[in-house]
Amino acid sequence: MKKAPRNQTLTLSPKEIVEYKKRLVTADKLNPAGMTNRIIHGDIFKVAGRFPKNFVDLLFIDPPYNLTKNFGGKMFKKTDAGSYEKWLDSWLSQLVKILKPHASIYICSDWQSTPAVYNSAKKYFHIQNRITWQREKGRSAAKNWKNVSEDILFCTVSKDYKFYPERVRLKKKVIAPYRDNAGNPKDWQHEGGEKFRLTAPSNLWTDISVPFWSMPENTDHPAQKPEKLLAKIILNSSDAGDFVFDPFLGSGTAAVVAKKLGRRFSGVESDLHYCCLAEKRLKMAENDSSIQGLKNGVFLERNAK
């Protein structure tokens, strides 16, 4: 089927799949030194036990939520909360050893999966906060409130961790531009007729859009995270050169943003097509390190030009 002219959704030709497949690290040839800046094509349950210790500065985890969902033909089936928690715990418990003492961990979930994530994470980490982010697109339901939010649990290994809120300030339009007695702007700035305030990040993120088909980062992955969301996490909780790891890499968002921001990365994904999409995005990042919604070190409000 022919794509609409503005549809930028990334696709893969059979030739590209052959090429990108060659770059992947396969689970049977897992070599700790060879993992850096590479994608591991495999099952996290099979590879987690073979990772080196103490190498990750930032762990971003976006597992299948407790929903029935088709990931490249493989169904993840909704189960009861207890079974989902056991499933989570079976791999999370194995990932603890890969973390450095000052590492941060961000775990994504929706309202139904959050209790299980919390119960498992509290066994291993200091839970610092729950971030809620608003999806622009909601999932309608005839007899329920439209579901427009997701959670991210922010955890750390210890009480000593990296946190740089000044790198993730949000540029917000000023509604009431108050001035002090001398007539100077009170906590706001103006530029080109625009009145704005650079605000510190809160745990409620309303400036994120899920990738849609006219955005160059969009793929056919059914649960792709926005690059802007990863940029906030990576800039806030790591330094250039740090190691970012994602055990459920999907279309590669965490790896791509880590690369764009000068971090080292690795991740695991069980589906070959998604691994190849991630490789294609990594290749594109070599020529384009822009991140939608992030301009000159400042995050813009949703849909801002």
Ligand X SMILES: C[S@@+](CC[C@H](N)C(=O)[O-])C[C@H]1O[C@@H](n2cnc3c(N)ncnc32)[C@H](O)[C@@H]1O
* Interface positions with ligand X (CB under 6 A): 43-45, 62, 64, 71-72, 221, 223-225, 248, 250-251, 253, 268-271, 274
Q: How far apart are CA 136 and CA 293, in angstroms?
A: 14
- To the nearest whole angstrom, how small is the minimum distance from the Cβ of residue 92 to ligand X? 13
- DSSP letter string, the chain: -PPPTT-------HHHHHHHHHHSEEGGG--GGGGTTEEEES-HHHHGGGSPSS-EEEEEE-PPPSS-EEETTEEEPP--HHHHHHHHHHHHHHHGGGEEEEEEEEEEE-TTTHHHHHHHHHHHSEEEEEEEEEEEEEE--TTS--EEEEEEEEEESSS-----GGGG-EEEE-SS--B-TTS-BSS-EEETTEEEEEEPP-SEE-S-----TTSTT--S-TTPPPHHHHHHHHHHH--TT-EEEESS-TT-HHHHHHHHTT-EEEEEES-HHHHHHHHHHHHHHTT---BTTEETTEEEPTT--
Give the residue with the Cβ less far from ligand X, 100 or 225. 225
- To the nearest whole angstrom, how small is the minimum distance from the Cβ of residue 252 to ligand X? 6
Give the residue with the Cβ less far from ligand X, 237 or 270. 270
Give the residue with the Cβ less far from ligand X, 120 or 253. 253
- To the nearest whole angstrom, how small is the minimum distance from the Cβ of residue 65 to ligand X? 7
- To the nearest whole angstrom, how small is the minimum distance from the Cβ of residue 298 to ligand X? 23
- To the nearest whole angstrom, how small is the minimum distance from the Cβ of residue 67 to ligand X? 10
- To the nearest whole angstrom, how small is the minimum distance from the Cβ of residue 45 to ligand X? 5
Give the residue with the Cβ less far from ligand X, 170 or 229. 229
Give the residue with the Cβ less far from ligand X, 152 or 170. 152
Q: How many CB atoms lie within 10 A of CB 115?
A: 14
- To the nearest whole angstrom, how small is the minimum distance from the Cβ of residue 108 to ligand X? 7
Give the residue with the Cβ less far from ligand X, 90 or 189. 90
- To the nearest whole angstrom, how small is the minimum distance from the Cβ of residue 188 to ligand X? 34
Give the residue with the Cβ less far from ligand X, 55 or 248. 248
Shortest Cβ contact with ligand X: which residue? 250
Take residue 65 and report the two structure tokens written for it: 């939520």
- CA distances 113 to 62, 110, 267, Å, are 12, 5, 22
Give the residue with the Cβ less far from ligand X, 131 or 171. 131
Q: How far apart are CA 223 and CA 229, in angstroms?
A: 13
